[in-house]
Chains A and B, each alone.
Chain A
Amino acid sequence: MDVFEAVKGRRSIRRYKTDAVPKELVEKMLDAAHWAPSGGNIQPWKFIVISDRDLLELVRKVSPGYLGEAPLAILVCSDREKEYRIGGALGRDYLSIADCAMAVENMLLVAYALGLGTCVVKSFSRIAIKEMLEIPDDIEPELLVIVGYPAQTPKPPARTPLRKITSFNKYDQEFLTSLEE
């Protein structure tokens, strides 16, 4: 699949089929994630694949943003201690989040190309998630990626026109685009 097709076709999916997600597809998603760029090449991410039905249900219960019943979720965490050791306060406080977000985007695009639906959730209780998944103190849960075969095809939400969010050379100097919007 063309990259741009994946970028434009991906949607946040909130209704899933019950079919299990094959392990080899999960591995492809994770492979894409860990090839993401990261500040100072720190690669602060840690991934927890949650497929155990009961555990997933507990995670769902403490995650108000987890809508729908997907058969799998991947919790993307950052190693804040590693980030601080190598990247200092900037690494710990900003890059760790940005790096994980870039890894997640890779994951989402590959999932879409593989026919999977995803939804990124930040609305979860970090305290409860850490307790459920026995996550050590220096590892911070950043984003929960819900994964499954989509049972819906959401319409694309409106986008702010490119010309309204882009300047040419200096801020607020008009950016002319031939792209239809």
Chain B
Amino acid sequence: MAVKKLTGNDYLFEIAVFLATSARGCIDEPPLYGPFRLLDALSKLTDLPEYAIGLNPDPFLKEIKAIVDEKKFLVMYDVDGFQRAIDEIVEKFAKELKKRYLETK
């Protein structure tokens, strides 16, 4: 097998595999691994513009990805901190939503 450069379709397929295997895992795994996998999926999705033609890098999502990648491991040793980190991320999304869909109109 030779390593090839990922196309947008390859990367989408990779995320699909991640989601399918995570879905099966979530049946047996600790409940908190569910949000952990969703955050990991969010992080992976923000990389999609690197591979898919027609999508532009989104600075806000890049910022979110950095936070997710830094904070997601809190699930292993600080559940409260993990929850706070998700709350902060959701709050950032809420502010960004307002900015994108209300303030520009």
B33 cross-chain contacts in A, Cβ below 8 A? 123
Question: CA A20 – CA B18 in complex, angstroms?
Answer: 26
- The answer to whether B3 and A64 touch across the interface, beta carbons within 8 angstroms, is no
Count contacts between A and B, CB distance < 8 Å.
36
The B1-37 residues at the A interface (CB cut-off 8 A) are 1-3, 14, 17-18, 21-22, 24-25, 29, 33, 37
| A157 touches B (CB below 8 Å) | yes
A124 cross-chain contacts in B, Cβ below 8 A? 21, 25
| A53 touches B (CB below 8 Å) | yes
- The answer to whether B76 and A125 touch across the interface, beta carbons within 8 angstroms, is no
| A138 touches B (CB below 8 Å) | no
- The answer to whether A64 and B37 touch across the interface, beta carbons within 8 angstroms, is yes
| B101 touches A (CB below 8 Å) | no
The smallest C-beta distance from A120 to any residue of chain B, in angstroms, reads 12
Chain B interface category by residue count:
10 to 19
Q: A53-B3, A125-B25 given as contacts; is B18 within 8 A of A64 (CB)?
A: yes
- The answer to whether A54 and B40 touch across the interface, beta carbons within 8 angstroms, is no
The smallest C-beta distance from A40 to any residue of chain B, in angstroms, reads 27
- The answer to whether B29 and A123 touch across the interface, beta carbons within 8 angstroms, is yes
B1: which of A54, A61, A125 is its contact (CB, 8 Å)? A54
- The answer to whether A64 and B77 touch across the interface, beta carbons within 8 angstroms, is no
Question: CA A59 – CA B36 in complex, angstroms?
Answer: 20
Question: CA A164 – CA B62 in complex, angstroms?
Answer: 43
B73 cross-chain contacts in A, Cβ below 8 A? 14
A67 cross-chain contacts in B, Cβ below 8 A? 40
A157 cross-chain contacts in B, Cβ below 8 A? 76-77
A166 cross-chain contacts in B, Cβ below 8 A? none
| A165 touches B (CB below 8 Å) | no
Question: CA A85 – CA B2 in complex, angstroms?
Answer: 42
Known: A54-B3, A57-B3, A125-B25. 19 other contacts (CB 8 A): A53-B3, A54-B1, A55-B1, A61-B14, A61-B18, A62-B21, A64-B21, A64-B22, A64-B25, A64-B37, A65-B25, A122-B29, A123-B29, A123-B33, A124-B25, A127-B24, A128-B21, A157-B76, A157-B77
